[in-house]
Chain A
Amino acid sequence: MTVTWRSMPGPLRTLARWVTIVQLVGYTTSLVFVWHTTRLVPPGVAARYRGVDPETTQAEMQFPKSFAQMLTITHTHLLSMAVIFLLTGLGVALCARLSERWKRWLIAEPFVALLVSFSAMWLMRYGDARFSWLLEASSAVLAVTFYVQSYLILRELRQVEREGSQVE
């Protein structure tokens, strides 16, 4: 028997809908924060992690992130984002309207992108600033995947609720 959102109890579908909505708000807020600190462009990202010579600008000072700060950023983001994508991955896995192939791709892709993003972050900090472009690209893929996953989950849940109300 295939387990889908249709075979799930109503209260679990309600939980999934609201968790997805709150995650959407949270993820969007985090993107606004990154826009505020880096303008979402690779040179801004590189400046945030590698610092900027205070003499070359009159803007806010930016110093290179310390090793301890890098470790803190990495472990907090990797663990929390893994949980976010665990939840959206579960939601996608229960969608009946998606093919098996698409489901597997959508579920696995964010975890790969997470590893690429944080590897790029370390390479950018201690290696070459140009790795900020890789970080930007993989983070963009991550964000797009998150919004696609959330849309698919909410669409599926709405469809199941509509079918349920029609049967009643």
Chain B
Amino acid sequence: MTQPLLEVRNLRTYLSSGGRTVKAVDDVSFSIPKGETFCLVGESGSGKSISALSVIRLLPQAIATHPGGEILFNGQDMLTLPEASLRSIRGSQIAMIFQEPMTSLNPVFSVGEQITEALQLHHPTMSDAEAVERAMLALEQVQIPKARERFRDYPHQLSGGQRQRVMIAMALACEPELLIADEPTTALDVTVQAEILRLMRQLQDDTGMSTLFITHDFGVVAQMAQQVGVMQQGKLVEVGNTAQVLRQPQHAYTQQLLAAVPENLARCRPRRSDFSPTMLTEDVGLKSDLPALLSIRNLKVWFPIRKGILRRTVDHVRAVDDVSLDIPQGQIVALVGESGCGKTTLGRAIVQLEKPTSGSIQLQGQELTGLSARELRPLRPKMQIAFQDPQSSLNPRLLVETTLTEPLKAHGRCANHEERIEYAAKILADMQLSRDTLWRYPHEFSGGQRQRIGLARALVLNPAFIVCDEITSALDVSVQAEILQLLLKIRAEHNLTLLFITHNIGVVEYLSDQTVVMYKGQIVERGTTAEVCGNPQDAYTKKLLQAVPRLWG
């Protein structure tokens, strides 16, 4: 067997700050042969990014130390090389692309200039004309349409997917032997992700480079990698051939992670017949017989685009454009679509966070649009919303107790504060959180716990209907699985109707009874989840479903 391109042996990376030392990477060994892809997969904080940054030696030396191990790249140990030689390796032999395409490009230079700069840094003798020509070729190589015209464009003029293509073009311009990709598609829509992944595979075939691919998504692993390593708390708990690891995981943690993937959750979900009678009728396709809890007619939410000194309205962004939808009592309706399709705006309009331009929204027969804040207040408890970002969904300066009792107080529920606290504690117990959660601040909790507190706040008013806006998108798969299971439990206990906004098809298949697909502000397809996901009719739905990276081929 020939020597692998990259061999990491017993790597340790310790991060120290403020007197504390964290073993971010602890005795990790793996190797990548020429032309192959190795995936590092794990939950946030498992040390996968730190491992990758250690390989390219990009960690700040003030806090990161490597008390042990070797990183052999083409036979030389990256850990002992001086900074000058490292710099000549970075970019030209090892290139890196990052997760966030907006922040990894410099907004004040055109994309062409940035690629040209990267080229000339590593080939100081290259003439300007040649560098420009090479950069154009690189842009064409990553299949940016009309690459030559886009050369002078600035990053903000490109879409997220195009920006990521530019990043790849920049990384590949110097023909590196190893590409380190740190969650390159996590911030992208699933259809765009599919295109980028396809492009990366193709470029790898063309150039014969190796890739160290970091992701948290097992679907992506299945598509990209020959070898996979699973990380947990800085340790590599399992390494092996991708198909083998995914099908017959040996380590308990890998098994647990794989079981939490929504696609696999769907397999463990009890059969429909074990569920409530409403589910049965739904299964037979009688969904129209269920009384509609919420009905939306011809809803439009347009945002004006204003120009000039007088801020005259010149045009509108049609975020939601003529949508009609019934949400039946007791159902979980999934709303899917790519970013910018208007799904979040629709959810926000339903709970009256956005004022609709026209159309009607009726909750239990009561018209919601056109009501003043005062008229709306008594109706507020019936419908609630839970948000995506666990960081900003709770007020950092309030005790959880205050956050949970505030809505009760606003509506004059319970006789006194003690009763309100008791009630809040009961709801927290429903969310499987202990009572002392009440007396803590949000920053003391993990992302998953914060999402549960956010859900508890939505539940304290005992609503009939909750909009869940991507509530699991920022969470790790295992935490996501817990939250989803919890949602199913409380749905039954509280007799809830849910509108679950998401872009994750796996979650939709696991959780929802009905699915609604939105595209460019309009509903393109709706039906029971089994129908929509199993036999999509609309062209966009088909494309969306095909783009989902699947574990099982």
Q: Do A and B bind each other?
A: no
Binding site for A on B (CB under 8 A): none
